[in-house]
Chains A and B, each alone.
Chain A
Amino acid sequence: MEELKEVFPGVESDNDSDVVLATCEDECVGGTASTANMRATM
């Protein structure tokens, strides 16, 4: 059976948290165009 070789690991260190929090605040800046666009593209 072929071995499955792990590649391209993520760089965040392991942690025990089982909770993933929202990160969208970073992207919540913009004008009224991006308001429309967010609703259209997300």
Chain B
Amino acid sequence: MHFRRMAQLIGQVGRSGDFLFYEFSLYIASMLLLPIETEKGCYLYSGWSNRIVEVSKKLFSQYNSGALNEQQRAAAIRAALLPDSAFRVEVYTPELISRSIAELKGNGPEMMVLSITEECNFRCDYCYYSGAYSDSRVHADRTIDVQTVMAAIEWYFTFPRKEYRIGFYGGEPLLRFSLLKESVAFAESKRAEGSEVIFALTTNGSLLTDDVCDFLAERNFETFVSIDGPEEVHDRYRKDTSGKPTFSRIINNLQRFRERHPDYFESKVNYSMTVAPPDSLEKIVQFMKGNGGLFGGKIPKVSSVRLLAGNDGQILLSTPGEQAFDFTPVWECFIESSLRGELPDPFSRAVCESSIIRIHRRPMNNLSRLVTTGGQCTPGKRCYVDTGGGFHMCERVNAFFPVGSAKDGYDYDRISAYLTKYSELIGSRCSDCWAVRLCNKCIPVLAEGDRMTESVLEALCERQKKNLAIRLAHYCHARAQNNDCFDFIIRRTSTDFVD
């Protein structure tokens, strides 16, 4: 395949999988420019203007090999690749913090996620609560009490909204099905007339009895079931408390669920998939294709387990020296389908589409000042409620960054302080970085115990730049062959991905 050939053709570049990226050369020319070379051409991407220009190999080499001379710099300015005056990047300015907090005070969270119980009937090796991660809780028999649920929901409903979203999370929330039902009944009884409550559930799928399925379908829940692929893939890490495999139970439950509520199943049931080496991605794609009834065109939420993540995730180390799961074949499938004008398969879309959307829909304006969140949402836009009634910015952060409680509501001063600290940490780091308009950072991934640290930020920046450089190269390579190849994304996003 062409990506592999490219890797052989060009020597001095960094590599990820079989793709190319210029990891360090951009620092030589200008930190706001990323040089990209693919089999089809040479390009420069500007982090200032979001523009991409094509350059000759000769000019590319000049940009890539040394500091810009005056002539080259002037040409880059004329082409709107570099600003002709200072370019200021500010992450969460005091004004943006004030505005974000005011908005939060007015509208409250967009979604409340209730951790119904910390108990789980599974013991998946990679689970955040498995004990493999140093700063996370472990499985416990703690369950949220109904008064806390009611207090949290009543507080949520004090915000005037047309739409409230309440998710149930765990542990395995269906271990406390009666409490879940009680919570739903309470929310429905308390919602203001004219408002809507949308419920969601994240489940391992083992407790989907007929009663549960009927309830979820009747309330039109958005249901996410965790399944990793075919039996041999799923069962390696997803085991129950006695160490037994779980695939057959899940798949039987899903099939029964679908037969019982076909319309609901098709529109509202989706999947969370975790890929971890040595998974075969082809096996997962084939499994989804072979089970069209269950998967159809659903685009699952896919995440991958990284290897060699310090102490985190070492339990999954199976191939010493391997750095990360290689998604190159998935990207190849995605690009090749796009070039043929065909909709890529759902798994490829799950892995690649959001990255391509971010690049393809980038605004093309030149800025003298860029105010950015850096990727961090306003803490509190999502409200994760732990079993003790503590509020957190999401279920993906450890317990060291609370944002309030069911008893007292949000602590806006604390939220403001987190954003200020985040802004101070990022500092001027983004001002001369080509990735500033495409990258995403947030407190949950910067948190190390009770602090956000420079070292974690630095590692995160490097990972993000590396991944973004690869994605931009894929993007250029594909559009060089068919300039309209990603327009299907725009057509689809304009209709909210309705199939």
Contact = CB atoms under 8 A, between A and B. Distances in A.
Interface in A1-42: 1-42
B212 interface: no
A39 B312 contact: yes
Contacts of A26: 354
Interface string B299-321: 00101111001001100000000
Given A19-B96, A20-B437, A2 B59 contact: yes
A27 B224 CA distance: 13
Nearest to A33: B274
A21 B476 CA distance: 25
Given A37-B274, A37-B305, A28 B127 contact: no
B396 A8 contact: no
Interface stretch (B154-162, B257-265, B366-374): B366-374
Contact of A38 (B52, B110, B445, B464): B445
Nearest to B78: A4
B128 A28 contact: no
A10 B359 contact: yes
A38 B440 CA distance: 12
Interface in B217-246: 224, 226
A22 B440 CA distance: 8
Interface in B70-85: 71, 75-76, 78-81
B361 A2 contact: no
Given A7-B53, A22-B375, A22-B376, A31 B361 contact: no
A40 B463 CA distance: 11
B445 A14 contact: no
Contact of B363 (A3, A10, A38): A10
Contacts of B200: 29
A25 B382 contact: yes
A38 B136 CA distance: 13
Interface residues of B, number: 89
Interface stretch (B43-51, B282-290, B400-408): B43-51
Contacts of B367: 18
B70 to A, nearest CB: 11
B206 interface: no
Contact of B305 (A14, A16, A41): A41
Interface in B31-55: 43-44, 50-55
A39 B444 contact: yes
A32 B53 contact: no
B129 interface: yes
Contacts of B136: 36
B186 interface: no
Nearest to A36: B128
Nearest to B80: A6
Interface in B54-95: 54-56, 58-59, 71, 75-76, 78-81
Given A31-B272, A35-B128, A39-B445, A24 B75 contact: no
B444 A38 contact: yes
B396 A19 contact: no
A13 B127 CA distance: 41
B304 A37 contact: yes
Interface in B354-411: 354, 358-365, 367-378, 381-382, 394-396
Nearest to B365: A14
B334 interface: no
Interface of A: 1-42
Given A25-B381, A36-B132, 5 more contacts: A19-B370, A27-B301, A32-B170, A38-B444, A40-B305
25 contacts: A1-B75, A2-B55, A2-B56, A3-B75, A4-B76, A7-B53, A10-B364, A17-B365, A18-B367, A19-B371, A24-B377, A29-B202, A31-B202, A32-B129, A32-B170, A33-B126, A34-B303, A35-B128, A36-B130, A37-B305, A38-B444, A38-B445, A39-B133, A41-B303, A42-B445
